[in-house]
Every structure is written in C-alpha cells, then in structure tokens.
C-alpha cells in the first residue's frame, strides 16, 4: 500500500469509528508496525489534521473534521457507483471487497448531495446468478496477469473437446456475463481467448513469462483492431 493511501485510510478509519483508537489497533488494520503508525500520526498532526492523543494511550479524530470533497458531477457519481456495484456483483470476492471499500471511501469524501446520489439505486448492477459457473480462482488469474506469471489449466472448448494449456495471461476481461482470459498460448504459439467458466484445475507453476515484442497485451489488442487511442476513450 502506498503511504498516501495508508494516511487516507487512517483518517477515514478514525472518522468512521469516532472513538479513541490505539496505535496497535491501527497497525493491525493497516498491516504495518506500531512505529510506522506513530510516524504517520505525527505527520498527519503536522499537516493540521485534528488528531488528539499520544503514543501509548490512543488517538481521537476531533468531531467535525472531514476530508476535502472531490469534485464530481451527479452523472460521474452515478458512474462510479454503478461501476463499483458491477465489480461487487460479478468479480471474485477479493476484488468485490475492494470495490465495496472504494464505494465507502468515495462516499466519505463526497459532499452530502452526491453521497445521496451514490446511495440511490437509479442505476443498478444485475445479480451474478446470470453468470456461468466458474470453478477456477479468478483472483489467482488476476495476480498472475499482474506478475506476468504463466498459468496451466484444463480447457473444454465449445465443441466439448478437452485440452491442457500453458499460457501467458495478458488480461482478465468481463465480456457480457462471462469472464475471458486473453493470453499467448504456448501450445498454439498464438493469441487465444479462454472463457473462465470452461477452465478447470488451474495451476500456477511459479514461472514468469518474458517480455517478448508481439506477444504482449498491446500486440493482442492491435490484432483485434483496438488502437491505444481507442483504449483511452
């Protein structure tokens, strides 16, 4: 976690609980040492965040303090709420928890009118019971993408044919009620797209794949006719 994110989380945790919290409690919550919390609190106090207390006793955020509001329009607030609700409904539980945390953090720093807009259900995400059953760990695939790690799995294609694949996962994408994994397939020596609900017996051999021009996500997207500019729009 970035230090700026941790400082935000400390203030938000104290603002939400509105009681004396100890350095031990904050250290456990932020997964850092107590000494790090002491330094963080000192820096927050130096930045005029109204935190009272001292080491060995506990800390209290004075009532009335709030983080500066973020400038969003009503449509932007709805877009953020809808996006987070879709992730919370359709992603793996680890990512869903993160989406719910994002909603809570955003709500905490928005002015009251936009808080109400985020809480409203003018836009809703469909429940995940429309999704095909997935037996592999999507969180593990996400982490493999992030770390450029190979994955192995059994696969059943649309014709019912089974095969074993070792691939370089380039992304995990949500595509109309199904999760797909665009990847470089070692067996086919080409880009292939695998549906997560057709994958079985996922293994992570712990082997990272190299950076090879023509085998990365940019090359795959260009093959699909998606330019860098298209991805920014």
The CA-based diameter of the chain, rounded to the nearest angstrom, is 67
Beta strands in the chain (DSSP E): 51-54, 58-61, 151-156, 162-169, 173-175, 178-185, 190-195, 199-203
Q: For residue 214, what pLDDT is reported?
A: 93
Percent of the chain whose pLDDT exceeds 90: 40
Q: For residue 5, what pLDDT is reported?
A: 79
Q: For residue 118, what pLDDT is reported?
A: 66
End-to-end CA distance of the chain: 28
Model pLDDT for residues 104-137, shown as the tens digit of each residue: 877 777 777 777 766 665 555 666 555 678 899 9
41 C-beta neighbours (distance < 10 Å), count: 21
- The tens-digit pLDDT sequence of the chain (233 residues) is 678 778 888 988 888 778 899 999 999 989 999 999 999 999 998 888 899 988 888 999 887 666 555 556 777 777 777 788 778 777 788 888 888 888 887 777 777 777 776 666 555 566 655 567 889 998 899 899 999 999 999 999 989 999 999 999 999 888 777 889 999 999 999 999 999 999 999 999 999 999 999 999 989 988 888 765 555 43
DSSP state, residue 135:
-
CB 86 within 8 A of CB 127: no
Q: For residue 215, what pLDDT is reported?
A: 95
Round to whole Å and give the CA distance between 25 and 143: 28
State the chain's mean pLDDT as an integer: 84
Round to whole Å and give the CA distance between 80 and 57: 39
Model pLDDT for residues 139-159, shown as the tens digit of each residue: 899 899 999 999 999 999 989
Rounded to the nearest angstrom, the gap between the alpha carbon of residue 119 and the centroid of all alpha carbons in its chain is 20
* 3-state DSSP percent of the chain in helix, strand and coil, to 5: 45, 20, 35
Secondary structure of residue 69 in the 3-state scheme: coil
Round to whole Å and give the CA distance between 180 and 171: 8
């Amino acid at each position: 976690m970035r230090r700026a994110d941790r400082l935000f989380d400390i203030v938000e945790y104290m603002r939400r609980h509105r009681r004396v919290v100890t350095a031990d409690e904050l250290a456990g919550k932020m997964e850092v040492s107590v000494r790090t919390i002491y330094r963080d609190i000192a820096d927050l106090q130096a930045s005029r965040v109204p935190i009272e207390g001292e080491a060995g006793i506990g800390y209290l955020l004075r009532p009335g303090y709030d983080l500066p509001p973020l400038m969003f329009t009503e449509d932007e607030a709805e877009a953020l709420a809808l996006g987070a609700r879709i992730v919370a409904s359709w992603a793996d539980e680890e990512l869903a928890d993160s989406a719910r945390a994002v909603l809570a953090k955003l709500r905490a720093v928005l002015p009251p009118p936009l808080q109400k807009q985020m809480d409203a259900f003018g836009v809703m995400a469909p429940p995940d019971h429309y999704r095909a059953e997935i037996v592999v760990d999507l969180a593990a695939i996400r982490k493999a993408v992030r770390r450029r790690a190979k994955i192995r799995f059994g696969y059943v294609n649309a014709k019912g044919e089974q095969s074993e694949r070792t691939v370089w996962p380039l992304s995990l994408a949500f595509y109309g009620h199904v999760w797909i994994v665009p990847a470089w397939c070692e067996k086919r020596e080409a880009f292939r797209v695998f549906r997560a609900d057709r994958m079985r017996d996922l293994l992570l051999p712990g082997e990272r794949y190299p950076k090879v021009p023509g085998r990365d996500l940019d090359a795959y997207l260009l093959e699909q006719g998606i330019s860098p500019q298209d991805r920014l729009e």
